[in-house]
Structure formats: structure tokens, C-alpha cells
A and B are shown apart, each in its own frame.
Chain A
Amino acid sequence: MLFDSLIYFVFLIPVVLAYWQLTYRRQNVFLLFASYFFYGWWDWRFLALMVGSTTMDFLIAQKISAAPDGRTRKHWLIFSLVLNFGILGLFKYFNFFVDSFADVLATFGVHYIPIPLIRILLPPGISFYTFQEVAYIVDVYKGRIEPARSFVDYALFISLFPHLIAGPIQRPSHLLPQVQKRREFDADRFFDGMLLIISGLVRKCVVADNCALLANAAFGGQLGPPNLWVVLIGTYAFAWQVYGDFSGYSDIARGSAQLLGFHFMVNFRQPYLSKRLQEFWRRWHISLSAWLRDYLYIPLGGSEHGKWKTCRNLLITMVLAGLWHGAAWTYVVFGAIQGVALLVEHTLFPPKDKLGGATSSESFFSVWAQRIVTFNIFCLTLLFFRSTSLGSALQMLRGLFDFTWRTEYAAAFATLCVFALPLLGVDLLMEANEQEYPFAKARYTVRTALAAAALIVLVLFTGNDSNAFIYFQF
């Protein structure tokens, strides 16, 4: 059930209406069944996998909590990590590693080795709910949270439908207490939730889906062989597509959660206004960046053990972040380039704690120059992220030295501006006002009028092209 399909709202509206008629315990049971229905709508066969994985981690957390000594606790932790990453590895990376191994053998002239090749479908959302389960187990192990006593509560924490398929990856300490206590209907947050959904739909259906037309044509060859203009159109369009797509998804997820009385963390904070890559990763897919920082980078040693180990930890984290997105070398290269760029930046410009716009010492031009450089570095890495293979990414890069112009390119740039610039404008507005969505602090009448205007934009510029949310495949 895609968030931008009418069928999602046919599901959501009755669920919200029925939900608020129930008592707290029944609400959780009802939402759990609704979430399983939502997941089963994709493919009911994977439901058993998710329920099995949820049950195992629920029981392991109980064992960790009840373990008499640290060694036993550690054994249960390792068992859980092996189980969770084993399942993720099998479903997501098995074919990738087998294929890569076969390629390596082939380069040495060894062909036709009977490698057990099984084609496995990727269960929807497995990367997201596995990370959430791991976070829960680690937090219980570290004593940061108490294990859930109710299976229904824990299962709902894992499978709550707004975040189930593509996050935001919720921290156990943030979401689990919300599941465990009674939710109260808050009309203000309910209204905000509706506006977040509309904002998300505009980002996805208007910005992302229209930019996707250009990005798909550039990377698919319809705009002609790669040249400077095709590469620029393709990468810029894809940059705005992926941003509109995933931030739109996150807004709809957060909005849907708010209709049910839950609060999800903000997942994007105007990332294209970042002046540094370090800052960019604190604004882009925040829930994943924070997860990687807390459960990978810091356990590896973070920046506490000298320069070289910091570099190593950063590189490992970014390469694994790349690989998390998908089982392909293009994602590994995407992560590796990001890691190297971060290392260079880390050395030249030590990290700053604050996100932010211009400091008083920085001129307007300096701020924008930094933003443009950061955005373009990200776009360069996106070229690998979007390409179907390393070969085609390199072919696109080679095209940068061909300047052949066609009149259609002007129309492509104009189309890109029509869809991307309004989102940039909205980001600037939100940055200036430090708001979670545009006009969040405006009067109700103003917000209602703007939402109605957004609905009109949505209607006029939505296509029939069925572009699934990009992050659903991860």
C-alpha cells in the first residue's frame, strides 16, 4: 500500500476513526492487526518472517534482562545480532555476495563453479525493522531501557504501519514508551498531522515524481548519450527526486502517526542547505544517520582514539551506510566516496556542533558558495547511487567532457526549476523559522487556506506514473 495511493487513505481513514473509539489496550491490539494487514497487503508470505523475527527478539530481550551475569547477557546479545543480521544478510545480500564471488572467480578464469544461487525476494521494510529490533536489543543490553513486558506493545513498536516499510527508524526510547502508555487525542497535533500528510504528498507526487521523469530519461538514455547537460539534468533531477520522495514519505509517515497520537522524529531538516557534508548527514535521513552513529560509529570507537582510528571508523560507517541502501557495488562506491569526502572535510574543517545558516562572520555569498559546493559533491555521489552499474556511472562521468547541446535540454532545465525551486523556497522558509513544516506557526485559517492551495497543486501536477517510493526497495 503506497502512501501516495488512494487505497492507503481508504485504509487510513477507517483505522483512525475506529482507533479513537477504543480503549488503550484495545487500541494497541487493533493497531497491531491493522499494521499486519498493511504489511500483508504487500506480500502476506513475508508476514511470518516479520512476526517470527519480532517474537525472537522479544524473547531474547527477556532473556538478556533476566540473565544472571554479564557473560550470559553478552551471549544473548551476540545471538540476537547474528540472527538479525543473518536474516538481513540472507534476504538482502546473499545473491550480491554470491554473484560477486562468481565474478572474482571468473577473472581468474574459473567458470561454471556450482555456487548455490538462489533468487530471493527482498521482504519489504526488512532493513528498517531489523535496525529497529537491533536498536531495541542493544538498548536493553546496555540498560538504557527496560524490556517490554507485553508482546503486543513490542510487536506494535516494531510494526506500527506508518514507519514499517521505510522508517523513520524509531528509537526504542522514543517510541516504545509512547506505545506503552495511553495516547490522548490532541486536536492540534491531529491537525498538524493532516498538514504533514498534504505536505508529504506534494513533495512526493509533485516534486519527486516529476523530477523522476527527467532523471529516468537522463539515466535511461532517452535524452541522448551522456554529455555534460544530460549528466547535470540527470543528477540534479535525481537529487530533487530522492529528496522529495523520501522527505515526502517521511512527512506522510509522521503525519499518519500523529493522527494516531504518536510522535515520530524528524527525518529531514533542509539537507540541501548544508554548508558541509558533516552537516548534511545530520540533516539527511536523520534516523539512519543517528542509528549508524550510535550503534556502529561510536561502538567502533568513534573519534575517541586518535586520528587514524577516527578515519577508519568513519570510512567503515559510510561504506556500510552505502551498502545498507542496496546490494550493489554502486552503493558501496557511493558510501566510500562519501566516507572519503567526509574524511577530507573532517581534516580540513573540524566538526561543528550546530546546524545552521550563516554565522555572523560569514557573508551571504560565502554561505551560498559552501551550500552549492556541498550539494554538488552529494550530486556527484548520487551519480553512482542512481546508475545501474559502475560501468554506466563511469560512462556518465566521461560524458562531462561532451558539451553537445539540444533545444530540449532548455525545457528539461526549466521543468526542473518549476518543480525543484518551490521546494528549495519552502526549505529556506522552514530554515528561517525553524519549523517542522511550512507555516507551522501561522494561524489556522492561513494554514487551512494553504493546505487547500496545496491540494490544488497536487491535483494539477500529479502524474499517473506509478513511481514507488525509492526507499521502499531498501
Chain B
Amino acid sequence: MRLFISNSKSPALTYAKLMCGISFAFLIALEGLSAYMLKHHSVTYRRVSQQLNRAVGARPAGPGEPASVVMIGNSLFLEGVQVDRLQELTSKRLRIYPIFLEATGYYDWLYGLRRIFRLGARPQVVVVQLEANSLLWNRVRTEYSPMLFFDTPDLLHVSSDLGLGHTAESSLLLAHWSAFSSTHSIIRTQILRHTIPHFTDLFTLLIQAQRPTTLGPDTEEVAEARLKTLRDLCEAHGAKMILLAPPVPSSENAVRKLISIAQGIGVSTLVPIDPNTLSARHYEPDVLHLNSEGAALFTYAIARISDQFL
């Protein structure tokens, strides 16, 4: 510092330096701790990173081998599909590589798929399990996705696709590089879940997005363009894309419209189950996610039509 120091001997300067030191040490410690917690204690991180690693190994089937199928989707499928049971029911025809991450949408999966293809995945079929709302989302999940689905150059493209400002772009970069930055909201949610009674129920309401009941002409265009992009991406890597419709009673019309758009551009679609055949007892209280009983039905329905995957 130059001549302007009027009270450089004040204890304040020492404490200011101490504060800087504490903050810096704190950041380093947090980063290390977050990385450790993520890798050793986060169920979601471990699950998705393992699923990604397995999916990267997907290869076209040889003669007599089951076809390789990568299935991607969000919580509707994580809750709604019993993957082990599905694999068991279809083991002769399919080898399934699921990748499910909650609260994800189109951009998470567009870049997630690009990444696994880049890493060498060559499945024969990619089953995309997104309902209308997730397909139309203009955002990405800021936890997990930046670390697991995006490579560094992707982040600039994601930012450009989403029209993010520099600040949001830098936050996304940070969430890619820093375990702490990517996970601190999860820490908060976990603390609140353990301290406030019924917070889990409240949290389900808080994060519940408003789902469109139908698609308008403008959103139809967006949906079509996005489905084409996903289809082209899969085809460029030798995979057939299939759009699998979930039973979502609140946006049944939107899902139906989405199916018709997909069929219009030559994307195969599957509707394993009619939502009208399910009742409230098959759903969680949010009437969106299937409970175990509903999931068993949905899984069986998928297995029943799984020969249409090929």
C-alpha cells in the first residue's frame, strides 16, 4: 500500500487480513469437503455418474445379443420405471442403460447425450422420456448437470442456447468446476428437511413447475425443432430415437400433442399406458409421479411393448 495508509498499525488491518485468510481457507476446505461428500455420500451423484459410465460402454449388439438401449429421463421415470424389473422382463431382447436425473429437461439431455456419444457410446436405440414441460424448459439443472453432463466447451454453448448473461454463464462454469458451487443448494435442502417437519412435502410443492395443459402454436414449433435436434443427434451416431410418453394426467393433452408432433417428423413414439387407466392410488400425493404400485404397472407396460424398440 502507498502513502494513503492512515492507520496501518490499527488492529483492524490484522483482523482484515485474518478475515481474508479465514474466507480463503474456508473456501478451500469447503471445496474439498464438498468433493468428498459428493463422491462418497451423494446417492444421486454416484448413481448418475455410474449410469453415465455404463452408458458410455453401450455398443451395437452382435448376432444373437440383446440390443443396446440407452434410456434417459427425469424424476417421472426415475420414480415410474423399475429398471431392474424392466431389464429382467426384457433381458432376451434388450440391454438397458438407464440415465435418470431428477428435475432435468431438454438442454440437460441434449448435452448429456452429446457427451456420452463423444465419449464413445454407440447404442442402437435411445429412448427419450421427456414430457412436454421438460422438453420446453429453457433452463438446465445447476446441480449435477454442469459436472456430469457438460464438458467445458459445452458450457459456452449451453449459455448461448439459454441466452444467459455473463454472470449466469460464469456461475454455470463455476458449477462445472467446483463441487461446492454445484451442490450448496442440496446442502440447504437437506438441512431444512431434517429440521422442519413436513418440509419434504412443502419442497415438493415449491419446486413443482406449472405444467402446460396443452401446446400452443409457438410452443409446438419449439417442441418440433427440439425433437428434430435430438433425432438428428441420435441418427448421426447410428442410434434410433424413440419418444416414450409418461402417464401425466395434468398435461395429458400436451403429451398427446407432443406424440403427434414427433410422429410428424418421423420420430418413433411409444405410449405404454393410457393415463385414464390409472387412478389416484397409482400416484404420489403430487398426482404427477407414480408410486411403487403405479411404477410396477408402467414398467410392465413398457416391457410389453419393448419389441417396438427395435
Contact = CB atoms under 8 A, between A and B. Distances in A.
Interface of A: 1-2, 5-8, 20-23, 41-43, 182-188, 190-191, 194-195, 210, 213-214, 216-217, 220-223, 261, 407-408, 410-412, 414-415, 418, 444-445, 447-448, 451-452, 455, 459-466
Interface of B: 1-2, 4-8, 10-16, 18-20, 22-23, 26, 30, 142-143, 165-168, 170-171, 174-175, 180-182, 184-185, 187-189, 191-192, 195-199, 201-202, 205-206, 208, 210
Most buried by B among A182, A187, A216, A451: A187
Contact of A186 (B6, B14, B184, B205): B6
Given A1-B166, A223-B205, A460 B22 contact: no
Most buried by B among A223, A261, A415: A415
Given A407-B198, A464-B175, A187 B12 contact: yes
A187 B7 contact: yes
A317 B112 CA distance: 54
A183 B6 CA distance: 10
The 5 closest A-B pairs by CB, nearest first: A464-B185, A187-B13, A411-B202, A463-B185, A187-B12
10 contacts: A1-B166, A7-B167, A7-B171, A190-B13, A407-B201, A415-B202, A448-B15, A452-B19, A461-B188, A464-B181
Contacts of B180: 459
A187 B2 CA distance: 13
Given A41-B166, A448-B15, A462-B184, A184 B196 contact: no
A462 B16 contact: no
Contacts of B23: 455
Nearest to B209: A222
B41 to A, nearest CB: 16
A184 B5 contact: yes
A186 B16 CA distance: 11
A203 B191 CA distance: 19
A185 B195 contact: no
B183 to A, nearest CB: 8
Contacts of A2: 167
Contacts of A190: 12-13, 16
Nearest to A210: B188
Contact of B196 (A6, A407, A415, A444): A415
A414 B201 contact: no
A187 B143 contact: no
Interface of A is mostly: helix
Contacts of A42: 165-166
B15 A185 contact: no
Contact of A459 (B7, B30, B192): B30
Contacts of B195: 418
A221 B22 contact: no
Contact of A6 (B10, B15, B171, B191): B171
A411 B1 contact: no
A183 B13 contact: no
A462 B202 CA distance: 18
A182 B206 contact: no
Contacts of B18: 448
Given A445-B15, A455-B22, 15 more contacts: A5-B170, A5-B171, A42-B165, A43-B165, A183-B4, A184-B5, A184-B6, A185-B5, A188-B7, A191-B15, A222-B208, A222-B210, A223-B205, A411-B197, A412-B202
Contacts of B197: 410-411, 414
Contacts of A461: 188, 191
Given A410-B198, A455-B26, A188 B188 contact: no
A470 to B, nearest CB: 16
A411 B196 contact: yes
A271 B230 CA distance: 53
Contacts of B5: 184-185, 187
Nearest to B5: A185
A397 to B, nearest CB: 22
B191 A188 contact: no
B199 A444 contact: no
B185 A6 contact: no
